[in-house]
Amino acid sequence: MHELLDKPAIAPDTTAAAVEIRDLSFSYGSARALKDITLDIQKNEVTAFIGPSGCGKSTLLRCINRMNDEIIGTRVTQGEILVEGINIHHPSVDVVKLRRDVGMVFQKSNPFPSSIYENVAFGLRMRGERNKASIDQTVEESLKSAALWDEVKDRLHESALGLSGGQQQRLCIARTIAVKPLVVLMDEPCSALDPIATAKVEQLIWNLKQEYTFVIVTHNMQQAARVSDSTAFFFMGELVEFSETRRIFSNPRVRKTEEYITGRFG
Amino acid sequence: MNQPHIFHEIDNSMTGLKDTILLMASLARQNLERAIQSLLTRDIDLARMVIGDDSEVDDLEVKIDQQGMDILVRFHPVASDLRLVITAMKAAHNLERISDHAVNIAKRAKKICNTSEPLETAIIEPLYTMAEKLLRDALMAFTDANAELGSSLKARDKELDAAHKEVAALLGSRLESSGDRAESLLHLILVARSLERIGDLAVNIGEDSVFLGEARNIRHEQRKIPAPDAHSE
């Protein structure tokens, strides 16, 4: 059960969107990083955030699980974010639990300096799971879902740091999904990976979207076109265009989007 | 219209593709004009020239495919860039077929010229004028990504179709009493048919121009729209 939402991980489709962002503005000190952002992230879809550096896409991503709370001087100045209908800024929301339900995979893989097994089991133990058989089963299922099981099943208790970069990133995905989040946020998850490792992660996202909702920040236009269902283009803290990915990359409505995706910016 | 790409090589490649299309279009138009002139003026040398020049048009079609493929592989174009590559390759195919029709006309012109009996070839001139204008406007629509002009061609092609029907009926009616000229008349009927087909191919280019300009696919739209009385009781 999800403590944040108090309902099963794969919740019945009672609301249209997994994440609803409403008139959100966000500031770093006096600098407005996000301006009146409104968009819905649909369940079991992959939503890509694209835009030039500094456009606010990563900031918005980090707003969804309140990672920006860790940065002094930042604040949501207006608006709200609802995850499965729950306002994540409500005083009753436990941020630690929020981040379990809205997991995150970072640009650089960041396995803990422990065994492969322990990396995946960590979140389960934090959640209070003590049953070894149950943990074993979830670790195996998560590693299988992350398409990593066959590569690591014989060395589960070896250090995760001995894995390749691509394997480490898939391990981080396995670690994230082990606690059955509602939403998985990915901040340039393939930017440090070679094309084969990138393809594996993309295939993984494609497979896992049957069960999870993904939001991915990427600078790679082809990656956004390949893996996402919807794409949001940001520029200078504003949401310029948000539409079906195939539309964005074939016939964007806004000239700024066209200029950016075709490489005519600046 | 569009500002240049940051990576200038994309613009260079796109410009190269456009230049090849324009060259191919101008050669196809020239072939058509010469083919008709060879028929109207009984100029066999001109007809031979059209037949010989067609290989150049064929080569340009291949070149456009190569340039398009190269752009797709190297630059992964999207949006208007992608539409330009796709439509350029399709337009090249239509231009190649237009040039083929010009060759057909030239071959029939040669055969007609080889007969001693003069034939009322001028009867097909209005068809040529209509087909040529359609082609010219289709190419203009493509060059300017002018969806409005591109989408207007279909209606004008219907006028060409009607004119072709009249000419074909007229020439057909003369067949029985034509005696030795029957074969030449048949050639002329097929020349008219080629001009009618060129109109269709120009419409295709016009439809691609709409896709290029506005990403709207208007092909086969008539088939999609139910007839007015389709739902009537």
- What's chain B's average pLDDT? 91
Confidence class for position B231, pLDDT limits 50, 70, 90: very low
Per-residue pLDDT reduced to its tens digit, B11-31: 999 999 999 999 999 999 999
Nearest to A259 among B3, B10, B77 (CB): B3
Question: Are B76 and A222 inside 8 Å of each other by CB?
Answer: yes
Q: B86 phi and psi, to 5 degrees?
A: -60, -50
CA distance B126 to A141: 75
Residue A197 CB neighbours (<10 A)? 18
Per-residue pLDDT reduced to its tens digit, B179-224: 778 888 999 999 999 999 999 999 999 999 999 999 998 887 765 5
**SS3 of A43, please?**
coil
**SS3 of B71, please?**
helix
User: What is the pLDDT, as a whole number, of residue B224?
Assistant: 58
Residues sharing a CB contact under 8 Å with residue B120, sequence separation 6 or more, in sequence order: none
Cβ atoms of residues A59 and A67 within 8 Å: no
Q: Is the ipTM of this complex over 0.90?
A: no
User: What is the pLDDT, as a whole number, of residue A49?
Assistant: 98
Q: Looking at the predicted structure, is the pLDDT value of residue B1 above 60?
A: no
**SS3 of B104, please?**
helix
Nearest to A263 among B7, B82, B83 (CB): B7
Return the residue in B78, B211, B216 with the most chain A beta carbons within 10 A, the one to mutate for interface testing.
B78
Nearest-CA residue of chain B relative to A248? B79
Find chain B residues with C-beta within 8 A of A264's C-beta: 2-6
User: What is the pLDDT, as a whole number, of residue B114?
Assistant: 86
Question: Are B82 and A251 inside 8 Å of each other by CB?
Answer: no
The tally of CA atoms less than 13 A away on the side-chain side of residue A166 is: 15
Nearest to B80 among A225, A262, A265 (CB): A262
Residue type for position B95: L
Q: Does B79 touch chain A (CB under 8 A)?
A: yes
Q: Looking at the predicted structure, is the pLDDT value of residue B63 above 80?
A: yes
Question: Are A262 and B79 inside 8 Å of each other by CB?
Answer: yes
Pick the closest to residue A86 from A29, A6, A161, A166 (CA basis). Answer: A6
Computed over its alpha carbons, how large is the radius of gyration of chain B? 20
Pick the closest to residue B29 from B118, B115, B143 (CA basis). Answer: B143
**Percent of chain B topping pLDDT 70:** 93
* E-assigned strand segments in chain B: none
CA distance A168 to A170: 5
Per-residue pLDDT reduced to its tens digit, B141-168: 999 999 999 999 999 999 999 999 999 9
Find chain A residues with C-beta within 8 A of B82's C-beta: 249-250
Q: Looking at the predicted structure, is the pLDDT value of residue B226 above 50?
A: yes
DSSP state for residue A146 in the 8-state scheme: T
User: What is the pLDDT, as a whole number, of residue B46?
Assistant: 96
Question: Are A249 and B81 inside 8 Å of each other by CB?
Answer: no
Question: Are A264 and B5 inside 8 Å of each other by CB?
Answer: yes
Cβ atoms of residues B99 and B28 within 8 Å: yes
Average pLDDT over residues B129-133: 97
Q: Does B12 touch chain A (CB under 8 A)?
A: no
Cα–Cα distances (Å) from A143 to A137, A170, A219, in that order, read 10, 8, 27
Confidence class for position B121, pLDDT limits 50, 70, 90: confident
Query: What is the model's pTM?
Result: 0.84
User: What is the pLDDT, as a whole number, of residue B230?
Assistant: 41
Q: Does B140 touch chain A (CB under 8 A)?
A: no
Q: Note the residue count of chain A.
A: 266
User: What is the pLDDT, as a whole number, of residue A10?
Assistant: 40
Question: Are A250 and B3 inside 8 Å of each other by CB?
Answer: no
CA distance A136 to A114: 16
CA distance A64 to A228: 18
Average pLDDT over residues B48-58: 95
Pick the closest to residue A171 from A145, A136, A133, A202 (CA basis). Answer: A145
Question: Are A221 and B7 inside 8 Å of each other by CB?
Answer: no
- The burial class, CB within 10 Å (0-12 / 13-18 / 19+), for A216 is buried
Return the residue in A228, A244, A246, A251 with the most chain B beta carbons within 10 A, the one to mutate for interface testing.
A251
Cα–Cα distances (Å) from B231 to A2, B78, B223, B224, B225, in that order, read 52, 40, 15, 14, 12
Return residues 147-186 of B near A (CB < 8 Å).
none
Hey, what domains does chain A have and what are their CATH numbers?
17-261 (3.40.50.300)
Per-residue pLDDT reduced to its tens digit, A124-158: 999 899 999 999 999 999 999 999 999 999 999 99
User: What is the pLDDT, as a whole number, of residue B225?
Assistant: 52
User: What is the pLDDT, as a whole number, of residue B119?
Assistant: 74
Domain spanning B8-224: which superfamily? Phosphate transport system protein phou homolog 2; domain 2 (1.20.58.220)
Domain boundaries, chain B: 8-224
User: What is the pLDDT, as a whole number, of residue A11?
Assistant: 45
- Residues of chain A whose pLDDT is less than 50? 1, 7-13
